[in-house]
A and B are shown apart, each in its own frame.
Chain A
Amino acid sequence: MASEHENMLMSMSPSVLHPRDMTEAWTFKKLLDSDAVYVAGGTLLRTQWESGQAAMPKHLIDLSSIPGLKGIEKEEHSLAIGALTPLSECRKDEHIRLHCPMLVDAIRSIAAISVRNVATIGGNIVSRVGDCLPVFIVCQADFEWNTGLSPMTEDASEWTERLQAQLPKASHLLTRIHLPLFKTTEIVPRRFGAFHKVGRREAFTPSLITVALNGGLKADGTVGEIRVAAGGGQTIPHRLFAAEKLMKGQQINRELLAAVHQTIVDGYKPKPDPFATEAYRKKTAANLIVAELWKIAAGPSDEGRERDDP
């Protein structure tokens, strides 16, 4: 039975709760269940409420009140990015610019500065269709969650694979993203990486297709390692395993690229909408990835940088 306090809370809708730590946030969510949502920047939620896609719940759990969830730190082998870090801060961060320029490209393509000043990297991930996700998938990022019991860490690619079949647990709280620092090695002396987004306009546009790739070439020019992912629109991004398998250990040449193109068209599963058909999305994703691979084969990479001053 609901207590007097709870009745009072329910009658004053919507209320905003400011947990002091992650355990409190998780406990509030467990207790209030579907009557409450976690709010980070609130930019996506606000559009969902305004468009009628989702009803405003009785309670908002304000994650920005929890200390320690913001900021970017360089660790020995990775960058640790707090889930509540605004996209603008990630966009400007020296470490991210240096070690993962394709994440900067992805963030630059999201909304406009005014939205990015409030929108968080965690909100982008948990939305399941955020434009940053393909980058985290190909960079083998780990997502750290507070699940109420003990912290849980999951590879970005495994998380998105699981999402194809089931919704994420609403009480799980994303706390940190661990982004590995890739270094050239003797075995893989040349690294490459890129992100591309195609929308209906050049700037400030929702995505139709997003692609990301990350890998390295061996000294003999064969592909040492590679990860490729595609998403965009309402498609939950996913890895293109068959295309990756085809490329491993091979020289990038015309024949290989033709086969990779066909494999992507066959393997990428986009969600169509009234603006773009499934066939268009498949072909565009394949074109973007193959064009990038062609550039990689042709000469030294700028790691997928499009246009950005250091």
Chain B
Amino acid sequence: MIHKILAERRTEMDLECEINGEPISLDVPPTRRLLSILRDDLQLTGTKVSCEIGRCGACMVLVDGQQVNSCLTMAYQCDGKSITTIEGLGSSEVDPIQQCFLEEGGYQCGYCTPGMIISVKALLTHNPEPSAEDIEEAMSGNLCRCTGYGGIIRSVQKAVSLRRNTQ
């Protein structure tokens, strides 16, 4: 009896979710990392890979609007969820946050930039008027080896005022 229940409660090898607005059904093991699904299975290579243990933020994506590290997230944790990658942000035109990074020198090599922009998107969605401290907290999981963060902070502040002025 218990073995029947065990078998019934097992995740099948498929994942049903939405990626960048498109419903998607994939035949993947339930513990496959979202990072590998995006980059290797779907060729969505805008999501970057670096530390693979949740420390750098290069692999940041939105799951139901919340920023998460795709290297820490398993396929079964995405079932029924809506995932947004950097490709989903500026699909029709450059997202205002991306524009601010361009204008304020928010990147140099650009490797950390997709993750940074995803974190800013989550921050502004939940807190349109963040304090300097809120910005620091929201961005503390995204590391940058190039900029010294000055340009990144300026880009975020510009995105905040742009949003304020256009609403």
- How many interface residues does B have (CB within 8 Å)? 39
Point out the residue from A9, A15, A16, A204 that lies within 8 Å of B141, measured CB to CB: A204
Contacts of A51 in B (CB 8 A): 53
Q: Is A5 an interface residue (CB 8 A)?
A: yes
B126 CB to closest chain A CB (Å) equals: 9
Contacts of A27 in B (CB 8 A): 2
Chain B proximity mask over A203-215: 1 for CB below 8 Å, otherwise 0:
1100000000000
- Is B141 a contact partner of A111 (Cβ separation < 8 A)? yes
- Is A113 a contact partner of B138 (Cβ separation < 8 A)? yes
- Is A17 a contact partner of B6 (Cβ separation < 8 A)? yes
Name the CB-closest residue of A to B70: A114
- Is A17 a contact partner of B9 (Cβ separation < 8 A)? yes
Q: Is A99 an interface residue (CB 8 A)?
A: no
- Is B31 a contact partner of A114 (Cβ separation < 8 A)? no
Report which residue of B29, B133, B141 has the largest number of chain A beta carbons within 10 angstroms of its beta carbon: B141
User: Contacting chain B: which of A39-47, A145-153, A189-197?
Assistant: A39-47
Chain A proximity mask over B14-46: 1 for CB below 8 Å, otherwise 0:
000000000000000111000000000000000
Q: Is B164 an interface residue (CB 8 A)?
A: no
- Is B7 a contact partner of A9 (Cβ separation < 8 A)? yes
A-B contacts, 15 of them at CB < 8 A, read A9-B7, A16-B30, A16-B74, A24-B5, A42-B77, A43-B54, A43-B72, A60-B31, A114-B57, A117-B63, A117-B68, A203-B136, A203-B137, A203-B140, A309-B131
Interfacial residues, chain B to chain A (CB-CB below 8 A): 2-7, 9-11, 29-31, 52-55, 57, 60, 63, 66-69, 71-74, 76-77, 119, 122, 131, 133, 136-138, 140-142
